[in-house]
Amino acid sequence: MSKAATVPSETFSAAQFQTLVRERRSVRAFLKQPVADTVLASVFETAQQAPSNCNTQPWNVAVVSGAAKERLKARISSDFVQGKMTMDFPYDGKYEGVYKERQYDAAKQLYDALGISREDKAARGEAFYRNFEFFGAPHVAFLFLPEHFGIREAADLGMYAQNLMLSLSAHGLASCPQTALSFFADQIREELGVDSSNKLLFGISFGYEDQNHPANNCVTGRADLAAAVNFIND
């Protein structure tokens, strides 16, 4: 019998897990209040239990806070304005078909929550720029994939990231995974002293949610089960 099967029902239930997963969402405004070091250690220790191919654990993570975070924010914010972007993994943000429809719907939900019209390009640009201010979060985790690893190991890092975000949620914290932070791979490595052999996949801003900010009224939906999963019995 697996360890999971021996956990007493009074300490863990499917309903509790479902609630945790369903209530996790991307938060785009945080309080300045930092997370205690003991809580950070607990969060990341739990994330470390993620599965990986042959238990290779192909992830390196840099967690940035305090003055280091402020220096990094100033640099990448300035470099974004100047168009100085460096990426380890190609990304153009273009999708087709239903994936494009979901992308557009997610953007609409966010801009509607912020009261920004489709025609207000300046306000939309300002909303996107907040990515590089980490949405005011007191902490940012940068997730690196060691070089020579490929798409299979990137999937492992994705499982680590899900573990991390659920662990944050379980501790009453909020998070936002950000592809946009991967636009400054060289700058981030330089500022954080990370070796060039580590390739930046994305970052996750996190902390305590600012429940009064309109951006956090944005809640995106998910496709019906039948749109993604086929149960094949014969």
Q: What is the pLDDT of residues 7-48, one digit of tens each?
A: 555 667 899 999 999 999 999 999 999 999 999 999 999 999
Using N-to-C axis directions, what is the helix angle for 66-81 and 185-192, rounded to 10°?
150
pTM of the model: 0.93
Domain-wise residue ranges, the chain: 26-91+134-213
Per the prediction, the chain carries an average pLDDT of 94
**pLDDT for the residue numbered 6:** 55
**pLDDT for the residue numbered 222:** 95
**Cβ pair 141, 164 in contact under 8 A:** yes
**pLDDT for the residue numbered 1:** 40
Neighbours of 193 (CB within 10 A): 8
d(CA 23, CA 41): 23
For range 88-111, the mean pLDDT: 95
The CA dihedral of 29, 130, 178, 196, to the nearest 10 degrees, is -130
For range 182-202, the mean pLDDT: 98
Architecture of domain 26-91+134-213: 3-Layer(aba) Sandwich (3.40)
**pLDDT for the residue numbered 12:** 73
For range 67-95, the mean pLDDT: 96
**pLDDT for the residue numbered 2:** 46
